Structure 1
Amino acid sequence: MGFSYDKLWKKLIDEKMNKLDLQKAINTTPHTIAKMGRDENVSMEILGRICRYFKCDISEVLEYIIENTND
């Protein structure tokens, strides 16, 4: 599967924020927020801004889901 931003979306709910609030808080584009909404890769710079903003570790906003392959 790859990376999942589900923890980030839960954090936004806990902080009573929406995606537009996050976009403004970390000074990024709607395109970047949309990529995260589709669980696509974004730059480490963006992830760093998110962690700095929330004063948290990257594991609190992002997780890697290992694919279950039957090789």
Structure 2
Amino acid sequence: MEVSYKKLWKILIDKDMKKKDLQAAAGMSWASVTKLSKGETVSMEVLMKVCKALDCNIGDIMDFIPTDGDSKA
């Protein structure tokens, strides 16, 4: 399963924010912003900081994308 943060980038555009603005508002490291930019997984703590900074829920900033190897349990 992969993660997509396209919703997060759309929110930033809508709020006229840059990635560095998000980093400052959420109080997170640049490494975490880089991971988000690359679509990599980040800790729940980072996701909670982003949601708090943007006043949104986790489903508002990310989606799970099934891959071919994923089984339906």
TM-score using structure 1 length: 0.89
Once the 2 structures are TM-superposed, how far is the Cα of residue 50 of structure 1 from its aligned partner?
A: 1.0
Give 2:22's aligned residue: 22
Three-state SS of the structure 1 residue aligned to 2:64 is strand
Kindly provide the CA deviation profile for residues 7-64 of structure 1, in whole angstroms up to 9, marking residues without a partner as x: 0000000000000000000111111101011100111001001111122111100110
Gaps of 5+ in 1: none
The AA in structure 1 aligned to 2:38 is R
Provide the rounded CA distance (Å) in 1 between the counterparts of 2:19 and 2:59. Answer: 19
Aligned to 1:33: 33
* Count of residue correspondences: 69
TM-score (norm 2): 0.87
SS at match of 1:42: coil
In the alignment, which residue of structure 2 is the partner of 1:48?
A: 48
Counterparts of 1:52 and 1:66 in 2: how far apart (Å)? 27
Unmatched tracts of structure 2, length 5 or more = none
Percent pairwise identity? 39
